[in-house]
Amino acid sequence: MFDLTGKTAVVTGGTSGIGLGIAKGFVRAGARVALVGRDESRGRAALESLGSKGAGLYVQADITDHDQCLRVIQEAEAHFGSVNILVNNAGMNIRRNVEEYTQAQWYQIIDTNLSSAFYCAQAVRDAFVRANGGKILNIGSMLSLFGTTYAAGYAASKGGIVQLGRALAVEWAGLNVQVNTLLPGWIETELTAEAKLLFPDLEAGILSRTPQARWGRPDDLAGIAVALCSRECDFITGVAIPVDGGYSVQG
Ligand code: NDP
C-alpha cells in the first residue's frame, strides 16, 4: 500500500518547510523528487537533507514566471525520464490592511500562490499524458475556508487554489489525472516564524484554538500527501482535506 516506487514528483517550494516535509515523505515511499525554489544555497541544503543519493534534483526557478514553470517540468522529465506527481506548494504572504497593499504586492501574492499552480499544471499536462496519468496536489490553507485580518490577498489566493483544483479534477479526469488540495493548519516553518514575530500573541492563540493543542510540523503533511499520490487513492479527486489538528472543526 502507498508505494511510490518508480514515480517522480516535482515539488514547488520543496526546498523548505511543508514542501520539504512532503518531499522527504515521497522519498521514504520510494519516489524521486525535483525540489524547486529560487535560493540555490537553500536548494542544495534541502537536496542534501533528503538523505538518499540519486533520489533528488534541485531546479532553480521562480515559479511566478510561466516559462520557468515549463523549464522546471522539462528538466525534471529529462533527468528522471517521467513526471508523475506535481505538488503546487510554493507560497508566501504579505501581511497588511487592505488599504495598504500596492498593486505589485497583490500580484506578488496571487502570482506566487495561485498563478504558479496554473502555469505548472499547464506545463505538466503533456508529461502526464506520456505517463498515462498523474497526480496534482495543491497546498491551500485554513484561509481557503476562513477569513481574517491582514490576509486579503493570501485568502483570495488560497480560496482560488481549491477551485482551480476542482476545475482541473473535472477537466482532466479523462486523462487519469487526480487533483486534490491539502489545507494545512498552523505549521512550524519560516513562513509562520515571520508571523510570530509580527504578532506576539499568535503562538498562544493558535495553541488554544487548535484542539490538539500543538502546532503542526512539516512532516505532518507527508503521510496524506503520499497516500493521495499513490495508486490506492486513484478514485479520490477534487477534494480539499484539512491537516490541522482539528482547527477547522473547533466550534
Ligand atoms: P516556507 O517559507 O518555509 O517555504 C516556502 C517555499 O516556497 C520555499 O521553498 C521558497 O523557496 C519557495 N518559494 C516562494 N516563492 C517562490 C517563487 N516565486 N518561486 C519558487 N519558489 C518559491 O513556507 P511553508 O512551508 O510554510 O509554506 C508552504 C506552503 O504551505 C505555502 O503555499 C503556504 O501558503 C502553505 N501554508 C503554510 C502554512 C503554515 O502554517 N506554515 C499554513 C497553511 C498553508 P525560495 O524562497 O528559495 O524561492
Nearest CA to ligand 1 atom 3: 17
Instruction: Quote the cell numbers at residue 83.
Output: 513526471
How far is CA 107 from each of CA 32, 36, 87, 93, 115, rounded to the nearest angstrom?
32, 20, 21, 11, 9
Domain extent at residue 30: 8-249
Q: What is the mean pLDDT of residues 2-8?
A: 98
Q: What is the pLDDT of residues 10-21, one digit of tens each?
A: 999 999 999 999
Classify residue 3: in a domain, yes or no: no
pLDDT value, residue 86: 99
pLDDT value, residue 35: 98
Question: Cα–Cα–Cα angle for 57, 175, 54, nearest 5°?
Answer: 15
pLDDT value, residue 159: 98
pLDDT confidence band for 51 (50 / 70 / 90): confident
Of 10, 11, 16, 145, the one to substitute when testing ligand 1's pocket (max ligand atoms within 8 A of C-beta) is 16
Classify residue 94: in a domain, yes or no: yes
Provide the strand spans (E) within the chain. Answer: 8-12, 32-37, 56-60, 85-88, 134-139, 177-184, 240-243
Classify residue 18: in a domain, yes or no: yes
Classify residue 114: in a domain, yes or no: yes
CA–centroid distance, 174 to ligand 1, in Å, is 31
Q: What is the pLDDT of residues 84-127, one digit of tens each?
A: 999 999 999 999 999 999 999 999 999 999 999 999 999 999 99
Instruction: Kindly report whether the global pTM for this prediction surpasses the value 0.85.
Output: yes
Of 38, 112, 196, the one to substitute when testing ligand 1's pocket (max ligand atoms within 8 A of C-beta) is 38
Nearest CA to ligand 1 atom 6: 13
Looking from the CA of residue 35, the nearest atom of ligand 1 is 9
pLDDT confidence band for 53 (50 / 70 / 90): confident
Classify residue 71: in a domain, yes or no: yes
58 has catalytic annotation: no
Q: What is the pLDDT of residues 172-221, one digit of tens each?
A: 999 999 999 999 999 999 999 999 999 999 999 999 999 999 999 999 99
pLDDT value, residue 54: 85
Instruction: Say if CB 86 and CB 124 are below 8 A apart.
Output: yes
Looking from the CA of residue 143, the nearest atom of ligand 1 is 43
- Dihedral of alpha carbons 190, 92, 145, 120, sign: negative
Instruction: Say how many CA atoms lie within 13 Å of 244 toward its Cβ.
Output: 22
Q: What is the mean pLDDT of residues 145-150?
A: 96
Nearest CA to ligand 1 atom 4: 16
pLDDT value, residue 128: 98
Classify residue 1: in a domain, yes or no: no
Structural domains in the chain (count): 1
- Mean pLDDT (the chain) is 97
List the CATH number of the domain containing 28: 3.40.50.720
Looking from the CA of residue 158, the nearest atom of ligand 1 is 34
What is the distance between the alpha carbons of residues 201 and 232, in angstroms, rounded to a whole number?
42
**Percentage of residues of the chain with pLDDT beyond 70:** 100
Q: 59: closest CA among 72, 69, 41, 46? A: 72
CA–centroid distance, 17 to ligand 1, in Å, is 7
Classify residue 2: in a domain, yes or no: no
- Ligand 1 interacting residues, C-beta cut-off 6 A: 12-13, 15-19, 36-39, 42, 61-64, 89-92, 112-113, 139, 141, 184, 186-187, 189-192
